[in-house]
Structure 1
Amino acid sequence: MSSSIRKIFGKMMVLVLLCITLGAMGLGTMSPVAAAVSAPGLNSGKLDQRAAANLDDKAQLAAFIDGIMDVQMNSLQIPGAVISIVKDGKILLSKGYGHSNIEENIPVDPETSLFRIASTTKLFTWTAVMQLVEEGKLDLDTDVNTYLKTVKIPSTYAEPITLRHLMTHTAGFEEGGVGYQITTDPEKLPVSIAETMAKHMPARVKPPGEMLAYSNYGASLAGLIVEEVSGIAYNDYIQKNIFDPLGMNYATVEEPVPASFEPYAVLGYARANGEFVTKRPTFEGGFRPAGSGSVSANDMAHFMIAHLQDGRYEDKQILKPETARLMHSPAFQFDERLPAMDLGFYELNMNGLRVISHAGADELFNTELYLVPDKQMGIFVSYSGGDGGTAAGGLAQAFFNRYYPAQTGKQPAATSIELGEPLEKYAGSYQFTRRNHTKVDKFFSFLTQINIEVSDNRLFIGSGADQQVYTPIGVNLFQEVGGTHQMGFRTDKEGKVTYLFLDMLNPMPLEPAPLMNQSKFWLPLLGISAVLFITVLLGAIYHRRENKEMPRVQKWAVRLSAATSVWSLVTLGATLLVMNMDLIDRLSHIPLSLRLYLLMPLILVGLCVAIVTMNILAWKNSYWTLPKRVHYTFLALAAVTLCLFFYHWNLLGWHFG
């Protein structure tokens, strides 16, 4: 979640670096990169009205991409990258940068170097589903329980979940993953998809078809359906029905990669003490239909060409034309004026072009795939470390600005009078629909919210240099000022906002966060409580002689207040550590430290009950002076506040998925 928010505000930072760093490339005229970066519009969706360059000029294209990659890899500390660009059924560019193995000085090879593509793997799973649909073995609108043999989805709602819901991320599952989403131990592989789906089934929290909520579980469930309906193991099905016919000789969804591919596997790196160091790989295990792919750039070019040519690559047809076109057509729309969710692909608006896309990211690798059906063009780019997410977004926007610049047509802003009501109803805190509701995972979305403010008939997101400004252009629709991005809202019959959609974050909409879910509600309360606990401790120290002279019951009451304050402060400190727990540790297993930490709020509840009881006795029996009793009451309220916080965020007990 947090990475998605950072992507909104920071993905175009690399283009600023390009502007500063790149100069002419010695081509006799201003280089493609220098020409591109000289435009003021190279930031998050800003308009660039430059005339389109000729994409068929391969030399200029290579120089343009080389310039961007050179700056990105130096400035964003990226050890290895690869890109392939296709158009009209041919590969225009396929090139590697940096190293796939720094220690052995092995350069990235676009033909053989296997980059982990994480969630971009889902496109293989969705393609497999559509193959079985056209064979008549699956139906997009039939209850998935019809096809599942080893797992059954509970009937939480009247409407059943269908494959269409899984492919559009509208099944209504909550998000989960703490302790089980990945593994770092190859000895635990392979893992059964069926067993994983049964053991770690998330709760159904929305009726199917209501709203997007990106789901790894949903994609993995679709992979299980492919496996059980076809009678072929998922890995083997993808190899036989997608990789083999497309000539994808350096592609696999197996984990770890087969021994024959080990020499070609790109290592992921992180930066430490000024050097690149290898990091432990992560594996999807039973969630592999959602993210286990390792593929070369050339092979992804074959896959892109097949989808751009209605399922055909050379003389092989992996999908019928009508099936491919259905897969690429809108299947769920937040608003018909905004990019849709297709069957597996999500749409983006890049300089006015309809782009169907999918990204993938883990701790070390970042991948983006963009297809423009109307232009018969596609881009695949992947990075093996550093700030690859920023790099991928920056490269894509620079590419579209140069080869498909936005066609301007100034759209007049609508006033609140024209819209019939003021904009204040859109202001507030919004939380992602992709989040957890019932497990300890919920706590890790505590700070992942977006705040919208209203001023001067405009909406504002963020602040400072990262601030984005939107102006109304229609009912519930807003346009980025000076840019191409749009934002839309859904409202109920009373006009109350129910959902928010940012086109750059498709398919992850947001919804208004209730007060109890807002960090700006809890943080002041936690801060005030912490101050109260500190005053109790300071008071106990300052009045220690007086306290010794108190009656025994009152003396124990003071000791209880000190113990509660110490334990509360220690628990709050531990909570901060848990919030910043290493992502891989959190998702690969349940650390003993987390299990032990979850004892602390339970102990606090016991202390809270005791302090509330003692507070009642203090008032009943007139302990101390009135100000001291009031202070004691505030302490009890602070302890209750902490207990409510831990209860609300599922930190009371061991709520693991």
Structure 2
Amino acid sequence: MSTSKSKLFLKRFVLMLLIVLAGTNIGGLPTTVSAETSTSIKPVDEAAGSSPNLDDAAELETFIDSIINAQLEDMKIPGAVISIVKDGKNLLAKGYGFSNVEEKTPVDPETSLFRIASTTKLFTWTAVMQLVEQGKIDLDADINTYLKEVKIPATYKAPITMRHLMTHTAGFEDGGVGYQITTDQSKLPVSIAETLAKHMPARVKPPGEMIAYSNYGTALAGLIVEDISGMAYNDYIQSNIFDRLGMKFATVQEPVPAELAPYAAIGYAYENGGFVTKPLTFEGGFRPAGSGSVSAMDMSRFMIAHLQDGRYEHTQLLEPETAKLMHAPAFKFDERLPGMNLGFYELRMNGQHIISHGGADPLFNTELYLVPDQGIGIFVSYSGGEGGSAAYALAHEFFDRYFPVQESDFPPVATEFEQDLEKYAGSYQFLRRNHSDIDKFYSFLAQISIGVSGNRLVIGSGDEQQSYAPIGPNLFQAVGGTTQIGFRTDESGKVTHFLMDFLSSEPLERTPLINRTSLWLPLLAVSAIVCITILLVFPFRIRKIRTMPKPQRWAERLSVATAAWALMTGVATFIIVLNMDLVDRLSRITTSLHLYLLMPILLVIMAAAMVAASVWVWKNKYWSAVKRVHYTLAALAAVAFSLFFYHWNLLGWHFG
């Protein structure tokens, strides 16, 4: 497999894990999951004398056209929009495809509203910083001093501050099953305060310790904007950001206001060879984390303001000092790797320092990149298809063309660190996950395994594998690429955490044995095999069972019923729970889920009965010793299944 394909595999692999972990967290997933996606590291075009000129508008448009038009065709995307700014001016603003496929309405960069999901957070954080510079919010004060209706419990001695919220280091667990979104417009508008009070996640880490991307934390910040300003969140953003920048085709209201509704792009899924309209999802009480719908030209105004230290034309959205503070690193996993600013997360592409934010829901994918040192901003959004992959492919093509990497930019391999690689090997799980509710189960498969091959670390397997060479203490770089990964160690030198530089808002930690798929999958497989043998043997023992004394007959029947129920519950777990439709999962607790959750409870009862029966069987020396061992193994298999359901919060109705 080519290097580019292996890198694309890694990107999709990580994206898959995040989808499994968070159900894409509609309106809340930062879609920065791309590794290296370009076909090669492109040297400067010496024949032409220099790199292509970004100020050549015609050449830029032709270049972007070639990428997005191909993406729409290859990735089955109905519509896309892009705007690129530089030095306070618009270089390109263009729509592609259709905002309404049925009516053949072309995408208009000036008026077509694309849903930007988590990119909305940048409006929330900008609003917060406006209140900071007015002296109404202290970044390091306890947020409970600002909240009126919602109070955060003092789980840890240190309080949560606005700085923690803005860097996603507040320490909240993740969640969303059954309540994060709604598809029912009649339920809107929803109170932010009531929503956050009802669905408060547990605090699972001391504040300031580590990043764990949080929609809840951003929604809290939006609530503080309401409580401090005395204005509804929607009204504050409209008045203090959109109106001041002249953003006439922008809103955080759900659904979009009637006067803007005709301009809203429709989201589609590609099914059976055509585009199918799907219902929109709404954030409700979590809207500060992802309710925005904006045109590309209006996002240009917002980007220019941030690139010019808060100024757009004659409007000062933020004071220069405030803007610089917002754009500066505020939390670093490793000083050598991208970190978190106040609301923006950092990226590096081809040596360029980028501050960014993206967002995704089932129908739209958006990315916003700012390159402060170059005065460049890029906003791109796709409706449907593989928009997440498309956005990052476009970004890498852009930076490869206009800011190519030279071979001299690659750091040398640090051979002195090639001998001690085994300590990095193992399983890692995202810090962004749930601990308390049924949501926990969705992190079961969201683990990354790091191995060692020769003197390199590897992610993936076979041909679809990315290798990393050491370039410094606890720091590695992709072989043939620029992606870097870093590790943290404790005082004893034991590796505790892992970060990929292309996903700076999503660190991982060592997976404890009790959470590892390498423990549970073999255990469940062996347990399932034992249960299957019980069922396979049963037909051949029916006649013999009929002649047994009543206690033995009931013990046999119990083993068969328990084995069958364990297998049915295991299969139902992956069919009903894991494969539940994403929108259903995050918008409501379905009847099928309610009914399913009876199954593990009944299994536990049957498993307990089998354990008791096993003791009775041995005490009374029923059957042969081999049969008794088989029976006991069946009881233990049922117990193993029960422990799995208990550990992953599938035993009972644990809803957030």
Where on the TM-score scale, by shorter chain, does this alignment land: which range?
over 0.9
> Which segment drifts farther, 216-225 or 547-556?
547-556
2:37 alignment partner AA:
N
For residues 64 and 511 of structure 2, what CA distance do their matches in structure 1 show? 41
Q: Does 1:155 align with 2:150?
A: no
Alpha-carbon distance, 1:45 to partner: 8.8
Q: Name which of 36, 46, 49 aligns with 2:43.
A: 49
1:475 alignment partner AA:
P
Could you list the per-position Cα deviations for residues 318-341 of structure 1 after superposition, in whole angstroms to 9, with x for gaps in the alignment?
A: 100000000000000001100121
For residues 462 and 547 of structure 2, what CA distance do their matches in structure 1 show? 57
Alpha-carbon distance, 1:10 to partner: 3.3
1:461 alignment partner AA:
I
Alpha-carbon distance, 1:463 to partner: 2.3
Quick check: 2:38–2:397 contact (8 Å CA) kept in 1? Answer: no
2:492 alignment partner AA:
E
For residues 70 and 434 of structure 2, what CA distance do their matches in structure 1 show? 38
**Paired residue for 2:520?**
522
For residues 642 and 426 of structure 1, what CA distance do their matches in structure 2 show? 31
Which structure 2 segments of 5+ residues have no match? 1-6, 16-34, 46-50
For residues 46 and 393 of structure 1, what CA distance do their matches in structure 2 show? 15
Residues 445 and 7 (structure 1 numbering): CA distance in 2 closer, same or farther, change over 3 Å?
farther
> Which segment drifts farther, 401-410 or 647-656?
401-410
For residues 509 and 583 of structure 1, what CA distance do their matches in structure 2 show? 24
1:612 alignment partner AA:
V
**Paired residue for 1:607?**
606
1:456-535 correspondence to structure 2 within 5 Å: 456-535=454-533
For residues 465 and 263 of structure 2, what CA distance do their matches in structure 1 show? 42
2:125 alignment partner AA:
W
**Paired residue for 1:21?**
none
Any idea what SS the aligned residue of 1:349 has? strand
Any idea what SS the aligned residue of 1:543 has? helix
Q: Does 1:70 align with 2:69?
A: yes
1:156 alignment partner AA:
T
Could you list the per-position Cα deviations for residues 26-82 of structure 1 after superposition, in whole angstroms to 9, with x for gaps in the alignment?
A: xxxxxxxxxxxxxxx973595222332100000000000000011100000000000
The count of residues paired between Structure 1 and Structure 2 equals: 624
Residues 464 and 59 (structure 1 numbering): CA distance in 2 closer, same or farther, change over 3 Å?
farther
Quick check: 2:109–2:295 contact (8 Å CA) kept in 1? Answer: yes
Quick check: 2:10–2:466 contact (8 Å CA) kept in 1? Answer: no
Quick check: 1:45–1:483 contact (8 Å CA) kept in 2? Answer: no
Any idea what SS the aligned residue of 1:280 has? coil
**Paired residue for 1:30?**
none
Any idea what SS the aligned residue of 1:244 has? helix
**RMSD (CA atoms):** 1.6
Alpha-carbon distance, 1:419 to partner: 3.4
Could you list the per-position Cα deviations for residues 150-197 of structure 1 after superposition, in whole angstroms to 9, with x for gaps in the alignment?
A: 000000001100000000000000000000000000110000000011
**Paired residue for 1:229?**
228
For residues 386 and 280 of structure 2, what CA distance do their matches in structure 1 show? 17
For residues 530 and 62 of structure 2, what CA distance do their matches in structure 1 show? 62
1:38-437 correspondence to structure 2 within 5 Å: 43=37, 47-51=41-45, 52-409=51-408, 410-415=410-415, 418-419=416-417, 422-437=420-435
Any idea what SS the aligned residue of 1:600 has? helix
Residues 54 and 107 (structure 1 numbering): CA distance in 2 closer, same or farther, change over 3 Å?
same
Residues 387 and 652 (structure 1 numbering): CA distance in 2 closer, same or farther, change over 3 Å?
same
**Paired residue for 2:27?**
none
Quick check: 1:537–1:562 contact (8 Å CA) kept in 2? Answer: yes
Identity %: 67
For residues 268 and 222 of structure 1, what CA distance do their matches in structure 2 show? 28
For residues 621 and 345 of structure 1, what CA distance do their matches in structure 2 show? 69
Alpha-carbon distance, 1:11 to partner: 9.1
Alpha-carbon distance, 1:521 to partner: 1.3
Residues 7 and 202 (structure 1 numbering): CA distance in 2 closer, same or farther, change over 3 Å?
farther
Quick check: 1:45–1:397 contact (8 Å CA) kept in 2? Answer: no
Could you list the per-position Cα deviations for residues 512-568 of structure 1 after superposition, in whole angstroms to 9, with x for gaps in the alignment?
A: 111111112111111111111111011111111111111110110000000101111
**Paired residue for 1:574?**
572
Any idea what SS the aligned residue of 1:249 has? coil
Any idea what SS the aligned residue of 1:245 has? helix
Alpha-carbon distance, 1:457 to partner: 1.4
Quick check: 2:8–2:37 contact (8 Å CA) kept in 1? Answer: no
Alpha-carbon distance, 1:421 to partner: 5.9
For residues 558 and 595 of structure 1, what CA distance do their matches in structure 2 show? 30
For residues 500 and 331 of structure 2, what CA distance do their matches in structure 1 show? 15
1:530 alignment partner AA:
A
Quick check: 1:427–1:451 contact (8 Å CA) kept in 2? Answer: yes
Quick check: 2:98–2:107 contact (8 Å CA) kept in 1? Answer: yes
Alpha-carbon distance, 1:313 to partner: 0.3
TM-score (norm 2): 0.93
Q: Name which of 548, 555, 558 aligns with 1:550.
A: 548
**Paired residue for 1:36?**
none
For residues 506 and 421 of structure 2, what CA distance do their matches in structure 1 show? 23
1:83 alignment partner AA:
I
Residues 12 and 290 (structure 1 numbering): CA distance in 2 closer, same or farther, change over 3 Å?
closer
Any idea what SS the aligned residue of 2:373 has? helix
Quick check: 1:12–1:393 contact (8 Å CA) kept in 2? Answer: no
For residues 466 and 235 of structure 1, what CA distance do their matches in structure 2 show? 46
Any idea what SS the aligned residue of 1:259 has? coil
